[in-house]
Amino acid sequence: MRLVRPSVEWKNEHEDYIKEWEEPRMTPSSFNLAGYENYDAYLETLKIRGSGDGKWVPSTNYFLVDENDRVLAMVDIRHELSDYLHNVGGHIGYSVRPTERRKGYATRILAEALKKCDVLGIRRVLVTCNDDNIGSAKTIVKNGGVEDKSFAEEDGTVVRRFWIES
């Protein structure tokens, strides 16, 4: 397994992943392909956001792919925290392909993302999840997450917040 950056080579795998996605909202949202004229336009936007753009802080996206070049999971690393990210989003957002869940891939992609954070010099990494997301909370704790105060969003959603120190 390895991390790769989104590029045209991964277009079909990225689209297949989205076909499998059952929830209305894509996670992480930066992998959502809706509204782009084509994949090149998506990649161009991702590149611009990568160095920071308006509400988007600098970020890096990766796919976790297996030996057969199948995309198993996705991760978005935010290099700094805006107010929103400090309360809700955290430094790292990830998801695992619906057909590949409960096989340890979230635990693996978060571990790999933490190594990237280390290289970026982010020593205290904030990772969050909604309070009903047991799988994500377990993933964070398994990677060393220490829980901080939760944050209540306006719609009543409670966000659990964990710090992972390197």
Ligand X SMILES: CC(C)(COP(=O)(O)OP(=O)(O)OC[C@H]1O[C@@H](n2cnc3c(N)ncnc32)[C@H](O)[C@@H]1OP(=O)(O)O)[C@@H](O)C(=O)NCCC(=O)NCCS
Residues forming the site for ligand X (CB under 6 A): 27, 94-96, 101-107, 129, 133-136, 138-139
Instruction: Indicate the residue among 34 and 37 with the shorter CB distance to ligand X.
Output: 34
Instruction: Indicate the residue among 41 and 152 with the shorter CB distance to ligand X.
Output: 152
66 to 3, 63, 85, 121, 157: CA distances (angstroms): 9, 10, 30, 27, 34
Residue 142 Cβ, how far from ligand X at the closest point, in Å?
A: 6
Instruction: Indicate the residue among 63 and 105 with the shorter CB distance to ligand X.
Output: 105
Q: Are 75 and 51 in contact (CB under 8 A)?
A: no
Residue with nearest beta carbon to ligand X: 135
Distance CA 67, CA 4 (A): 12
Question: For the chain, how many residues are written?
Answer: 166
Residue 105 Cβ, how far from ligand X at the closest point, in Å?
A: 4
Q: Is 25 left (phi over 0), alpha (psi -120 to 50) or beta?
A: beta
Residue 104 Cβ, how far from ligand X at the closest point, in Å?
A: 5
Residue 82 Cβ, how far from ligand X at the closest point, in Å?
A: 17
Report which residue type is found at 148: D
Instruction: Indicate the residue among 71 and 106 with the shorter CB distance to ligand X.
Output: 106
